[in-house]
Amino acid sequence: MGRWIAIGTAPGWDDIQTFTAEMKATAQWRADARTTVTSVLALGDGRLLAECHAVKREDFEAWLKKKGWQVESLTPIRHLARTGEIWKVAG
């Protein structure tokens, strides 16, 4: 399964209440049974960073569009390290 990082902006997401409303419920993290947004970060410069794993890039793109993101970049992840664990994600 592929993984991607998106960087962009979404109206109002710099406000913690809007950010919470958009991402609090578990259903907001699952676009479908095989597409999961694993993290969303609101950066200090007003941009957002989201990570997703999905079968197809288009599934993540659909989630971003539904959420109203203005996407600056959408990049596949090649390798991933978290708390000492390392994964090769893509070739």
**Domain with 65 in it: what CATH number?**
3.30.70.3090
Q: Is the pTM of this model over 0.95?
A: no
pLDDT in tens, 8-37: 999 999 888 999 999 999 888 988 889 999
Could you list the residue range(s) of the whole structural domain that residue 18 is in? 2-88
B/e letters for 38-60, b = 16+ CB within 10 Å, e = fewer, are: eebebeeeebbebbbbbeeeebb
How many domains, the chain? 1
